[in-house]
Amino acid sequence: MTHENNDHLRLSAPAAVRNREPIEQVLVRVLDDQAYILELASGSGEHGVYMTQRHPGWRWQPSDISPAALASIEAWRAFTGSVNLLPPLRRDTLESWPDEHFDALVAINLIHISPWEVTEALMAKAARHLTPGGVLFLYGPYRRQGQHTAPSNAAFDADLKARDSRWGVRDLEAVIAEAEARGMVLELVDPLPANNLAVVFRRT
């Protein structure tokens, strides 16, 4: 399929365009020049496009459970011709995965738009599928010491819970505890624009 006839499949997420550069600046600090990266809930696929165009040594494996997202990622691949952006896969954190290992798992805006059991499963997957010393990168809004970090996050949390009572902005301390229970070590928590945090764990 040529990109002339699949332009309509290429989704664009304004948030992805806004946050991709700050996210990249964190990833550069924690990843080597050569890395095999699995992105979960890739959505439009624009993060993978951006990262692979700037880092030829990063093999970026996008994934999602949404057919529209998978189609968008494939359409972006065709449009950009990025060889290190791999064909998208369907990966559900709550299902078993093939026995494969990655240098990093990246989950951008996932754990607040999913039930808590997805966070629990994500930590188990990281413990199993990251190489030793591998990185789990999370991005999104969090509460700290039980408090929202901004009024906009409190409003967002209420909106999420209205959409699905199992969703919501997570307590950072609970996420850290879940990761540490799986042998992951917290490496950094960096404030990023729009009251979001980059949270990085490393598999011991």
If you ran DSSP here, which 8-state letter would residue 56 be given?
Answer: T
Q: Are 168 and 161 in contact (CB under 8 A)?
A: yes
Band the pLDDT of 13: cuts 50, 70, 90.
Answer: confident
3-state class of 138 per DSSP?
Answer: strand
Q: Is 2's pLDDT higher than 50?
A: no
Q: Are 77 and 26 in contact (CB under 8 A)?
A: no
If you ran DSSP here, which 8-state letter would residue 85 be given?
Answer: B
Return the pLDDT at 30: 98
Task: List pLDDT tens digits, range 15-61.
Answer: 888 899 999 999 999 999 999 999 999 999 999 999 999 999 999 99
Apex 123 CA angle, 19 and 139, nearest 5: 10
Band the pLDDT of 1: cuts 50, 70, 90.
Answer: very low
State the pTM of this model: 0.95
Token pair listed for 181: 């229970």
